[in-house]
């Protein structure tokens, strides 16, 4: 499989088939918490990367052979940098009925063609981690032409023209964007955006920079109350995976690890392997030098070696 990965248990969407339409690592940001690693190509120019028909064929083939709750365009960078995003979603929808989501950092929503492409999706999940320029630069390290005013305006314009659900993710990082003043301003601005859900997250996977520390769950819950009833904390997986018995586990686990570090529990949920089987397989892959593990907080994570 070249473009799809998973299905993986998504914290927000359930059992999600990822569609990676951006090569590593094209992004408009270089977030300190990024799980993929440092941005090598920081850009705001949209490009055509892959053949939309081939992407749609691969998605449809996978949906036909396994259970998928949602098809999620995301990937090894910012998906709206792919100028074929709208065409790809349309082609996928011609072939399957599964809902389509797009996870975006929201940085290009001020562009009309980006808003038009995203309008094809059934749900859009943008992020907003700061509302002041200083914090924006600290957390997201954006491409130099971007500023936080443009990002917030883009979110407002998108909301005005998109009637389907928008779920806004806010990644909170210890001592970086959890200052009471920043949070107070964020609550004000986010309340004015009219999004359907506000989803708080923190660093629970190995980040790009060690300075990106997690906020404890109790504190996150208190912050959540500031945002009101549409807000929730999203920090755990609940669904169990289901992949055909003949699947090549090593390949599937490796493809997923290329995009997300996983714990043993994540691998169990992503696959239909038992905990023992998953551990044995990961150990064998580690022994072969395919993956490596390390500890973050209370968890042991696996990444591609």
What are the residues binding ligand SF4 (CB under 6 A)? 27, 29-31, 34, 36, 39, 77-78, 105
- Please say which residue, 33 or 60, places its beta carbon nearer to ligand SF4: 33
Of 118, 94, 70, the C-alpha closest to 239 is 70
Smallest gap from Cβ 151 to ligand SF4, in A, equals 11
Smallest gap from Cβ 27 to ligand SF4, in A, equals 3
- Could you give the CA distance from residue 11 to residue 172 in angstroms, rounded to a whole number? 16
HSE-CB of 51 using CA atoms within 13 angstroms: 5
Determine how β-strand 299-304 pairs with β-strand 291-296: antiparallel
Determine how β-strand 4-10 pairs with β-strand 100-103: unpaired
Smallest gap from Cβ 141 to ligand SF4, in A, equals 8
- Please say which residue, 34 or 253, places its beta carbon nearer to ligand SF4: 34
Sign of CA dihedral 42, 33, 175, 127: positive
- Which residues neighbour 270 within 8 Å (Cβ) at sequence distance 6 or greater? 6, 7, 8, 9, 241, 243, 252, 253, 256, 262
Of 61, 53, 59, 48, the C-alpha closest to 91 is 53
Smallest gap from Cβ 259 to ligand SF4, in A, equals 10
Cα→Cα distances 163→72, 106, 107, 153, 269, Å: 19, 17, 20, 17, 33
Smallest gap from Cβ 156 to ligand SF4, in A, equals 20
- Which residues neighbour 141 within 8 Å (Cβ) at sequence distance 6 or greater? 29, 30, 31, 32, 39
- Please say which residue, 31 or 130, places its beta carbon nearer to ligand SF4: 31
| Helix residue ranges per DSSP H, the chain | 52-65, 85-95, 112-118, 133-140, 148-161, 180-193, 217-227, 249-259, 264-270, 275-287
Smallest gap from Cβ 226 to ligand SF4, in A, equals 23
- Please say which residue, 41 or 299, places its beta carbon nearer to ligand SF4: 41
- Could you give the CA distance from residue 152 to residue 132 in angstroms, rounded to a whole number? 10
- Please say which residue, 3 or 29, places its beta carbon nearer to ligand SF4: 29
Smallest gap from Cβ 181 to ligand SF4, in A, equals 23
- Please say which residue, 39 or 177, places its beta carbon nearer to ligand SF4: 39
Smallest gap from Cβ 6 to ligand SF4, in A, equals 17
- Please say which residue, 8 or 273, places its beta carbon nearer to ligand SF4: 8
102, 72 Cβ separation under 8 angstroms: yes
- Please say which residue, 9 or 77, places its beta carbon nearer to ligand SF4: 77
234, 201 Cβ separation under 8 angstroms: yes
């Amino acid at each position: 499989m070249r473009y799809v990965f998973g299905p993986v248990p998504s914290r927000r969407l359930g059992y999600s088939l990822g569609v990676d339409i951006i090569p590593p690592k094209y992004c408009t940001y270089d977030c300190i918490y990024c799980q993929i690693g440092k941005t090598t190509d920081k850009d705001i120019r949209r490009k055509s990367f892959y053949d939309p028909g081939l992407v749609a064929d691969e998605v449809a083939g996978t949906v036909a052979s396994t259970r998928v709750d949602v098809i999620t365009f995301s990937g090894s960078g910012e998906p709206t940098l792919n100028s074929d995003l709208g065409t790809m979603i349309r082609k996928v929808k011609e072939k399957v009925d599964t809902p389509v989501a797009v996870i975006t950092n929201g940085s290009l929503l001020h562009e009309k063609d980006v808003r038009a492409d995203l309008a094809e999706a059934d749900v859009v999940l943008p992020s907003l981690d700061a509302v002041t320029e200083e914090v924006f630069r600290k957390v997201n390290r954006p491409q130099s032409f971007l500023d936080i005013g443009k990002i917030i305006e883009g979110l407002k314009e998108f909301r005005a023209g998109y009637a389907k659900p928008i779920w806004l993710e806010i990644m909170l990082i210890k001592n970086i964007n959890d200052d009471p003043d920043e949070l107070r301003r964020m609550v004000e601005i986010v309340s004015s955006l009219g999004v359907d859900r506000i989803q708080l997250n923190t660093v629970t996977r190995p980040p790009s920079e060690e300075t990106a520390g997690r906020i404890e769950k109790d504190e996150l819950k208190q912050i959540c109350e500031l945002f009101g009833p549409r807000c929730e904390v999203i920090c755990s997986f609940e669904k169990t995976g289901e992949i055909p018995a003949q699947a090549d586990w090593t390949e599937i686990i490796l493809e997923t690890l290329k995009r997300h570090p996983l714990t043993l529990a994540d691998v169990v949920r992503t696959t239909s392997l038992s905990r023992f089987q998953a551990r044995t397989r990961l150990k064998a892959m580690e022994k072969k030098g395919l993956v490596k593990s390390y500890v973050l907080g209370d968890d042991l994570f696996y990444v591609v070696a």
